[in-house]
């Protein structure tokens, strides 16, 4: 038998583009949930998404080639939802519900295409923006981030020979497996993959997801990545993101409307979804402010996802609020998803086990932890805090305050104004690593 | 088990150079035999080798990228004979002889490096020249040709998708296998691979060699490719080339010396080699002239390799000459190697079987026949008649007349002068396809 498949080898060595994103389902599930609501209720709102590199010491535009970036973005724009994907979206059960997506929405989605982008370089960074109707620009967030992160990995690995690469992945696999061994010891653990946007690469994310599936069994409840959920028969997980309160806040005209906008988001949401999808994301303009002004009915929602304060502190604050509202936290759900690592998962689990239902959405440290794995340490393999955020709504500035001032985004003056309205209480700066 | 070896995939998609020539042994065996003689007897002769594309309708410089060509040539210059290769050259038995290479020659070879090259473009063709001591420039011929031919293949296959490539190679394999089935029917066949310089690619040549080994068994007597001979435990085959009479002719000062130079080559050669290596290559300045003026002792040599006239015609002429000299052709050997294909092999075999010993050196149509194999026909996959010939010796022009005027090379005036001296009798133009 011949030792080499010549055709495969010629193909491998001659191709022009190795597409990073090959399906519009290669995105977070919550983007589709939000999209249905945006399409249904806010089809005329224009929203700009902008790339923001919070790890400004890393000069991305010097790491990755502009032409390669454009080719990847252009390729993503050629994608459409395929027939198989449409049938799966329409026929699959999500969060226990059949037909979570309306037929009219799916009919519209069939023709969906990612809109144009604007790309330039400034001071070692890429300025990447997506302008246009919210219901189009919103779907750029995840592929844009996944593309840039994988291009960084590729650039970092370019000098590596085959053995260096073999060792790199061998170590990364061993490292992840050691994490699963620690996680396996936690009783009643519920953990899922939230690592699409920050992943090292698509294939690596797939490996991580499949390894968790084998490594921790039923404790691994699913993935936010729709494509991987479809391909590996896992649950597609995710609820909603900061872009909802950010956009709805920017659309308000009065201070009173602005203060009510975080609850308007919840009212909109429950027109579309119920059950385990009724998860409050309280920190867009500060969790303390959110809880202080929240109507009682918010306590009836299934749970909260504190996303920018340390889990124990944020969880205790929400549980206290539930108790205040006469609700038993043991019937409620907290979803932790902010920069998790096995240490913080263990700590939160130890603290909350038996006191509240818990779930973990594990992102960057699941799908992009190569620290100490490369035979020669290269900076480009370290994950960075790269986000793609709403910055404009129609012609107004959109901002996020967050519980951690280091995670605030947007125009400084608008932030000041929002701070005056929502208050600054309990906002504490924490280092944002990823 | 994971579906993809991520490390291998990353490596495959990121590499910068896929070297075509990876060993100095990836050359024709006769180059090393000639090199030992050149090193021993003509170490001070400067010889220029020049690329000549006889298929001038194919504009190579428009097919392949200059930068890629330079990178491949530069890579070839980084090669040295490895320890394993040196031990094999010193320890292997060639043509039944141990230690065919002198220890002093091998010691010199250890430090061998391909010399510099000169590359430019003119009228859609590359002008590629190697200047310097003959004992260095001579080893460029085969790798230079193999590099250009494989770069042509690669360029031609660039637009092909994985299935087109799979089909291409599937058809080429089926085509070659059908040839082996025809060859298997010829009794007492002796055939070997002479296809290094014109090969589609190294891996394809290896496939062809291994397929012939399995397909026709003992009738496949070996390969001219030293690396493949070493790696696949085949005989390394080959004797000598036109460059010997061409250079020795150019070194002469008088007409009489010039007329004697083809026999001087043979005298030099037999100082080094005997037995089956005593093969006359008679056509450098015309076979008719060679035989007319040949001393009687030439008839004692083992055989002839007619290289530019149709096999039957050339063989009959040489056999008539042997009989004239009182020699029984049935004890003699004819080696055919000019543009062979299964048809011409069958025809020569039918004609000469039982009358003379025969061997076939099968080149281009063995290792580079992709006609009709590509799902979309592309010109770049058709082999062309590309050679790398001696054009200057010290400061004089070197030429070859050949039995076929279409295969003559060199300066026109010098060709005229040689034709006057050697005569034009029996030179007949034939189409040179490869």
What pLDDT is stored for residue B14 in this prediction? 74
What angle, 0 to 180 degrees and rounded to 10, lies between the N-to-C axes of helices B243-250 and B29-41?
A: 20
Name the E strands within A258-300.
279-280
What pLDDT is stored for residue B7 in this prediction? 86
Sequence-distant (6+) residues with CB within 8 A of B261 are B245, B248, B249, B251, B252
Q: Return averaged pLDDT per consecutive 10 residues of chain B, 434 residues in all.
A: 78 82 98 98 98 96 97 98 94 94 97 98 97 98 98 94 90 95 97 98 96 96 97 95 98 97 98 96 97 97 95 97 97 96 97 97 98 90 97 97 95 96 91 84
Which residues of chain B neighbour A18 with C-beta distances below 8 Å?
A: 13
Which residues of chain B neighbour A207 with C-beta distances below 8 Å?
A: 2, 6
* Helices assigned H by DSSP within B275-401: 287-293, 311-324, 342-352, 364-367
Strand partners, A123: none
Q: Are B288 and B426 in contact (CB under 8 A)?
A: yes
- 8 Å CB contact of A161 and B18: no
Name the E strands within B109-185.
118-122, 125-130
Tens-digit pLDDT profile for residues A99-123:
999 999 999 999 999 999 999 999 9
Mean residue pLDDT of chain A comes to 95
What pTM was computed for the model?
A: 0.80
Q: In what order do the strands lie in the sheet with A386-393?
A: A118-122, A125-130, A47-53, A386-393, A396-397
What pLDDT is stored for residue B363 in this prediction? 97
Task: For B163, name the nearest residue in chain A, comparing CA atoms only.
Answer: A7
What pLDDT is stored for residue B5 in this prediction? 85
Q: Please report the ipTM that was assigned to this predicted complex.
A: 0.76
Tens-digit pLDDT profile for residues A326-338:
999 999 999 999 9
Give which of B199, B192, B89 is closest to B142, Cα–Cα: B199
Average pLDDT over residues A63-81: 97
CATH class given for the domain over A6-422: alpha beta
Which residues of chain A neighbour B2 with C-beta distances below 8 Å?
A: 207, 210
- DSSP structure string for B237-297: -----THHHHHHHHT--SHHHHHHHHHHHHHHHHHH--GGG-EE-TTTT-HHHHHHH--GG
Backbone angles phi, psi at A94, to 5 degrees: -115, 130
Tens-digit pLDDT profile for residues A35-62:
999 999 999 999 999 999 999 999 999 9
Task: Flag whether residue B411 sits within 8 Å of chain A, measured between CB atoms.
Answer: no
Instruction: Look at the block and give the residue holding tokens 């023709």.
Output: A111
What pLDDT is stored for residue A2 in this prediction? 64
CA dist B21 → A272, B77, B80 (Å): 64, 10, 12
% of chain A at pLDDT higher than 70: 100
- B385–chain A nearest CA distance, Å: 24
**Cα gap B237→A223, rounded to integer Å:** 61
Q: Which helix (H) or strand (E) holds B391?
A: strand B386-393
- 8 Å CB contact of B158 and A210: no
Backbone angles phi, psi at A353, to 5 degrees: -55, 125
What angle, 0 to 180 degrees and rounded to 10, lies between the N-to-C axes of helices A29-41 and A255-272?
A: 110
- DSSP structure string for A146-189: HHHHHHHHHHHHTT--HHHHHHHHHHHHHHHHHHHHHHTTSTT-
What pLDDT is stored for residue B391 in this prediction? 98
Tokens of B386: 């590309």
Q: Are A349 and A342 in contact (CB under 8 A)?
A: no
Query: Which residues in chain B (332-351) have CB-CB distances under 8 A to chain A?
Result: none
Tens-digit pLDDT profile for residues A187-238:
999 999 999 999 999 999 999 999 999 999 999 999 999 999 999 999 999 9
What pLDDT is stored for residue A4 in this prediction? 81
Which of A1, A8, A11 best tests the B interface by mutation, with the highest count of B CBs <10 A? A11
Q: Is the pLDDT of residue A3 over 80?
A: no
Q: Are B124 and B59 in contact (CB under 8 A)?
A: yes
Which residues of chain B neighbour A2 with C-beta distances below 8 Å?
A: 207, 210
What pLDDT is stored for residue B302 in this prediction? 97
Instruction: Look at the block and give the residue holding tokens 């009836």.
Output: A300
| In chain B, domain spans | 6-422
> ∠B225-B227-B232 over CA atoms, to 5°?
95
């Amino acid at each position: 038998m011949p030792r080499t498949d010549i055709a495969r080898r010629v193909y491998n060595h001659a191709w022009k583009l190795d597409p990073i994103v090959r399906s519009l389902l290669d995105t977070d599930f919550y983007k589709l949930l939000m999209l249905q609501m945006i399409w249904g209720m806010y089809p005329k709102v224009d929203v700009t998404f902008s790339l923001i590199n919070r790890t400004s010491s890393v000069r991305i535009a010097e790491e990755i080639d502009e032409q390669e970036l454009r080719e990847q973005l252009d390729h993503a724009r050629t994608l459409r939802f395929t027939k198989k994907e449409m049938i799966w979206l329409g026929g699959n059960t999500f969060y226990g519900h059949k037909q979570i997506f309306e037929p009219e929405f799916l009919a519209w989605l069939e023709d969906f295409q990612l809109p144009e982008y604007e790309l330039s370089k400034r001071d070692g960074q890429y300025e990447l923006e997506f302008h246009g109707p919210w219901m189009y620009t919103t779907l750029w967030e995840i592929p844009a981030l996944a593309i840039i992160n994988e291009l960084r990995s590729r650039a970092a690995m370019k000098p590596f020979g085959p053995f260096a690469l073999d060792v790199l992945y061998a170590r990364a696999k061993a490292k992840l497996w050691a994490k699963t061994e620690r996680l396996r010891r936690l009783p009643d653990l519920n953990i899922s993959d939230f690592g699409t946007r920050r992943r090292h690469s698509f294939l690596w994310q797939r490996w991580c997801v499949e390894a968790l599936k084998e490594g921790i069994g039923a404790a691994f409840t699913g993935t936010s990545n729709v494509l991987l959920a479809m391909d590996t028969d896992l649950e597609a997980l995710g609820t909603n993101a900061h872009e909802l309160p950010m956009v709805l806040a920017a659309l308000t005209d009065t201070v009173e409307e602005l203060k009510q906008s975080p609850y308007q988001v919840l009212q909109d949401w429950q027109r579309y979804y119920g059950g385990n999808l009724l998860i409050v994301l309280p920190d867009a303009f500060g969790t303390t402010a959110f809880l202080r002004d929240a109507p009682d009915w918010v306590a009836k929602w299934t749970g909260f996802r504190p996303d920018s304060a340390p889990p124990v502190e944020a969880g205790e604050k929400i549980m206290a609020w539930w108790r205040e509202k006469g609700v038993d936290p043991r019937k409620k759900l907290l979803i932790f998803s902010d920069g998790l690592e096995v240490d913080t998962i263990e700590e939160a689990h130890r603290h909350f086990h038996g006191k509240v239902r818990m779930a973990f959405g594990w992102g960057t440290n699941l799908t992009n932890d190569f620290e100490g794995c490369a035979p020669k340490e290269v900076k480009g393999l370290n994950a960075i805090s790269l986000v793609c955020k709403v910055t404009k709504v129609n012609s107004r500035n959109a901002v996020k305050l967050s519980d951690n001032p280091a995670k605030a985004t947007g125009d400084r003056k608008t932030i000041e104004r929002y701070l005056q309205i929502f208050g600054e209480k309990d906002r504490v700066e924490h280092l944002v690593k990823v």
